[in-house]
Amino acid sequence: MQKITFILVTALSLQLASCATTTADSTSGVKRSQFLMMPASSVDRMSAQAYAATLKEAEQKKTLNADKAMLARVRGISNRLIAQVAVFRPDAAQWKWEVNVEKNDALNAYCMPGGKIMVLSGLVEKINATDDELAAVIGHEIAHALREHGRERMSQAYLQQFGLQALAALASGSAVGGAAVQAVGAGSQLFFALPNGREQEREADKMGLELAARAGFNPNAAVTLWQKMDAQSKTAPPEFFSTHPANQNRIADLKVLMPKVMPLYEAAKKS
């Protein structure tokens, strides 16, 4: 009984201590308090393993970095964005960043916790993306990693699925029954299976826009990007039924922020 009480008290203490914001407040104004009870080291380890498995599978299918010109282009854009991440969190400049391209028709890209970026070739080819538009979407994905949205989703999922007891065991490094072990094993699957929430998507839009502007990419490209994406997704469900903001609402929000980030873009172009 004393052990259970100790675990629950520890869990509640960890829960209270786990509410924080992961990034510095900046022009984009993102500073929401987040629930981050899952240890960052555990999330980064799971993500690195999942990313390595993805690379291995793509290598076997001969779809990894097949287009050298596209790879050089994507890495050049990404490196300019990565050079600006310290504005939001200085430690991110020391992450072990990786940037790869997979030959795949899907319009998608992602940045896993710890800075593991993957761009699918369909995103570049199907919408004939400009460098500025690619910067908008890659910046958006980098923002997800900076805000640790994956860790936040996993913390919430573990709490719902396994309860405070197992989550406390994960956070404290101990083990409580099979639930904690099962929770660890589900990590990489949860990252890919759990969609970002609408607020997380809005945060990534805002921070990604600022990141692109600071890197010298035209922020207006975020609008044309989502207009192109909207044209590709006419069968998308209404916003109420989706975790992603509706494209038109997303574009409207970006336009509101545009006057704040344009000076950053102009300054970057002069430097």
Region class of 29: left (phi > 0), else alpha (psi between -120 and 50), else beta: left
3-state secondary structure of 70: helix
- For residue 230, what are the CA distances in angstroms to 76, 121, 200, 239? 26, 18, 19, 13
Sign, Cα dihedral of 190, 42, 114, 63: negative
State the catalytic residues.
Answer: 141
- For residue 36, what are the CA distances in angstroms to 10, 21, 157, 158? 15, 9, 11, 11
The amino acid at 232 = Q
Evaluate whether 138 touches 77 at the Cβ level (below 8 Å).
yes
